[in-house]
Each structure stands twice: as C-alpha cells, then as structure tokens.
Structure 1
C-alpha cells in the first residue's frame, strides 16, 4: 500500500483547487478534476506484477511532472509555521505573526489549508492536547490540556465537538493501534501527527 500526504505547501504545488472545496471529501480521485492528473498512477500501483522500485519510480515521475511553484509559498510557510508553533491565541495574533491582514490570512488558509484560521487554530490546540495525552501514558487530561484553553469546560466542549465523545469516554477506550502509530511517527518523523508537522522547504 502506498500513501501520499500533502502538507499545505504540497497542496499549493500539486493541486489546482481550493483545499476548502475538498476538505472532508470522499470521491473517485480518477474522476475529480482536482486529482485526476494522478489517475495514470493506478496502472502501476494496482499492478500486482510491478515491483516496489517500479511503483516508486512511477510515483516520482508523475509527481515531478505535476509539481509547479506557487507565488504564495512564502505566505503558506509563514502561516504553517505559526500554526504549528502554538504561540498565538487569536486570529489577530496569528495574522500579525504572519505579517498579513486577517483577510489575506483567511484567503491563504481556505485556499491551501482547507479551513478558516480560527478552526485551524482550534484543531492545532486540540491535537497538541490529544497527542500529549496519548504519548505521555498516565497523564491526566488537565495535565495534557494546551495552555491556550481557558478552562477544562472549554476543552471538554471542543473534545466533544471533534471526537463526538467526552474526554473520559475516550480515555476509557483501548487505543493500541493509534498509540503505537503516534509513538512510531514521533520517533521517525519527529511529530506524532501530520497536523503537527512543520513546513518543509525543498
């Protein structure tokens, strides 16, 4: 199985569509206008006779042909780095840190990140809390909560919104696969989830 994940810079370089139009989307990638230029990969990646090296070479070739620079790349990188840092509590602070207006920040976020700045900040805050809880076994939620939460009640509301259950209900479940995945990813890539990866310039 091959999996390719795009960070916002990757989306800008490979996908000619607003990320907000594709967020939480399930579709036939070979038919969708945003993704169908990758459809030719199916011939090799779904060929049981193709070797891993042949499949990898096909991936590299198609990605190389599809990649193109984007004039918004410096802005994307600034927004991405500021979101991952967790240093900013409000959209206004985030916009100032990225040296852009709130309107420009909203445009960049919707185009390349898929969501409005406020939701992105909430998601990052939640993921920092969740990964702390998952990686530091035995930690209580009050210890894992991100510092930007006003109180435990706010955290519980957002947890329920993102996970459709209370923190205590989630903690009572077994998470052998997710915990192992997060631990391995943190060890190999330096962060336990893609939402916490910093931008990478290539």
Structure 2
C-alpha cells in the first residue's frame, strides 16, 4: 500500500424477486491521492460482476497474469484467494448465488471457475449498455434501481434445474454435512447428477465445495477478531489445528498468522459492512431467502 488511503463499502439487498439470485449489490469506494494503491486478497467466493464507474483496479487471473482496464468483468466462482490492487475511485459489484449465476449469466460456472473474463456476446452488449445508463446516474439508489430492472428482465424463464441447485446450495450450508455421500443423501441426487449440478452451477466438484465451505465458516469467525483460541474456532469438520492450517494455506496461499498480519483494508470494510447489511460476513455463506422448494 502506498499513500494515505481509505476504503469503504456499501451493500444493498436487491429487489425481493431477485434475492435468491443476487446476494447483494455493493459499491466499493477508495479515497486517497491519485497514485495511492491498496492491495488485498479476496477470499473464495461465488461469482460476481464488477463494473468500473470511476476507478482503476487490477486482479490476477488463475495463472497469475494481471487483468486490468476492463469496464466490466465477470469474476467466476473461486477456490482460492484472488489478489487485487485498487486505486482511488468507485467500483460497482453484483454478487450472484449459484442459482443466480445459472439464470442471469447463463454460462457454465466451471467454464469461468477461478477466472476473470470480459462479458461477451449478448450479455456483453447488455452490460455495456447498462454501464452507460449507470454512468448517467448521480445517486447510488438510482443505480441500484437500474440494476434491479436489468436483472429482473433477465430472470424471466428461470431454469429447469432450479430445484436441484437449491437443494445443493442448502446442503452445502449445513455444517453437519461433511461428505459427498451426505450430499447425495440430503439432496436425493445420484452422485453423477450431483457432480454435474455442482460443476455447472457452483463451479467445482462436490468434494472441493464441501472443503471450501468448512474453510469459509472458520475464516468468517477468525477474520472477525474472535478472541478465543483458534482451536475453539475451528469448524467441526476439522480434525485438528494442523488440518485447518493446511486448508488455509491451500485456499489463501499463506498461513493464518500471515493473513491476520495483513492490513486487509478491502476485506475488513467488506466483511463488517456486509454483516451489518445482510447478516453474513462472506458471500460464500449466503443463504437463499426462500428455501429449497
């Protein structure tokens, strides 16, 4: 980080009709001298669309190559931390549930897993037009209203696999469910169908999704500054502290102590604001509003 810089995030819930499809809208605002930068790690998350309003940012793709300069970018679901660099300005984000990604983005999640891409085709043209409309607005609430209208129109028709996606999502959020066999039993899907649903809508295999969820449950508690010893904070699916440390290194690329020593200006702003506005500090722990039916 260079220069004096401050980061704020403001979250909004979407229209009621979209709350099972979109986890939130959020505005990221970075304030500071023009040359100032802030670096952070985005924890594993579901898919997002991020639209540049007045900002410069850079993220690293799955092969460590910088991605920058895009007016709009699809961030696929991730299985590991993603480094980002932000400069003063504003960035508008839309977080999707796996169901929302399937219905609104209409691209298989595994095709963009751990990847960043510029929207293409009809979606790209629609988002480019949406961005132009957003730039005409001066009030954030008017921007959020435009987002509601845009995504409500795209949501028409739903998806014939919706019940399966809902069942998998609900099962992944259950801390007592720790095995693929348990997922099969809970969802009523065969192992092959479960695998296809997970890859297409969630981006990863059932086993990796379960591992990611147990990690995120513990990360949410750890990053929130809980003063208890770390052994008391671990998700029940962990055998011991060393088991968690291995997962942490795998998903974040560094040790827990190294992570907690980072400034984490973006994530601290995000987790606190998101928890207050939406009741969940991490997007990956977001619950569907209307259950599984």
Q: State TM-score, norm by structure 2.
A: 0.62
When the two chains are superposed, the root-mean-square deviation of aligned CA atoms in Å is 2.2
Structure 2 partner of 1:90: 179
Preserved contact between residue 126 and residue 158 of structure 1 (Cα < 8 Å)? yes
Preserved contact between residue 133 and residue 140 of structure 1 (Cα < 8 Å)? no
Distance 1:139 1:177, change over 3 A: farther
Deviation at 1:32, TM superposition (A): 5.7
How many Å separate the matches in 1 of 2:125 and 2:247?
35
Deviation at 1:75, TM superposition (A): 1.1
Question: Any residues of structure 2 matched to 1:47-126 within 5 Å, and which?
Answer: 47=136, 51-52=139-140, 54-67=142-155, 68-126=157-215
How many Å separate the matches in 1 of 2:266 and 2:153?
36
Preserved contact between residue 129 and residue 146 of structure 1 (Cα < 8 Å)? yes
Distance 1:164 1:102, change over 3 A: same
Larger proportion of helix: 1
Preserved contact between residue 79 and residue 98 of structure 1 (Cα < 8 Å)? yes
> Which of 87, 97, 103 matches 1:7?
97
Unaligned runs of 5+ in 1: none
Larger proportion of strand: 2
Residue 45, structure 1, aligned to residue 137, structure 2: no
Deviation at 1:181, TM superposition (A): 2.8
Structure 2 partner of 1:19: 109
Unaligned runs of 5+ in 2: 1-90
